Amino acid sequence: DQQVKQNSPSLSVQEGRISILNCDYTNSMFDYFLWYKKYPAEGPTFLISISSIKDKNEDGRFTVFLNKSAKHLSLHIVPSQPGDSAVYFCAASAGFGNEKLTFGTGTRLTIIP
């Protein structure tokens, strides 16, 4: 049972435009959400996170939005840059003290120059 879903395996965006990556979850116990970026043959790097008590969190060009009623979160990157081309994973955690993260299957973002 895939509790965290990224339904778009790939996305192409023109450089300078906005990239929007989506993630849906089914477990209502999830209360903390994270986005990771992964280049080929490297480990994922943490990008940005959001707690369920918020609906938006910004860090520079990256903004994460959370819609709890829809069990949906999205990552906005604006403006998109060539270095943003990577695979993006969303992840979720159920409760502080829970040791595990549940990851989605990833979305490959390609920024077109």
Partner 1 sequence: SQTIHQWPATLVQPVGSPLSLECTVEGTSNPNLYWYRQAAGRGLQLLFYSVGIGQISSEVPQNLSASRPQDRQFILSSKKLLLSDSGFYLCAWRPTYYEQYFGPGTRLTVT
State the residues that interact with partner 1 by CB under 8 A: 32, 34, 36, 41-46, 49, 89, 93, 96, 99-101, 103-106
Secondary structure of residue 84 in the 3-state scheme? helix
Dump the DSSP string for 28-80. Answer: TT--EEEEEEE-TTS--EEEEEEETT-SEEEETTEEEEEETTTTEEEEEESS-
Nearest CA among 88, 78, 76, 98 for reference residue 32 = 98
Q: Which is nearer to partner 1, 27 or 45 (CB)?
A: 45
**Beta carbon of residue 31, minimum distance to partner 1 (angstroms, whole number):** 9
**Beta carbon of residue 100, minimum distance to partner 1 (angstroms, whole number):** 6
Q: Which is nearer to partner 1, 100 or 113 (CB)?
A: 100
- Bridge pairing between strands 72-77 and 62-67: antiparallel
**Beta carbon of residue 78, minimum distance to partner 1 (angstroms, whole number):** 23
**Beta carbon of residue 44, minimum distance to partner 1 (angstroms, whole number):** 5
Q: Which is nearer to partner 1, 77 or 90 (CB)?
A: 90
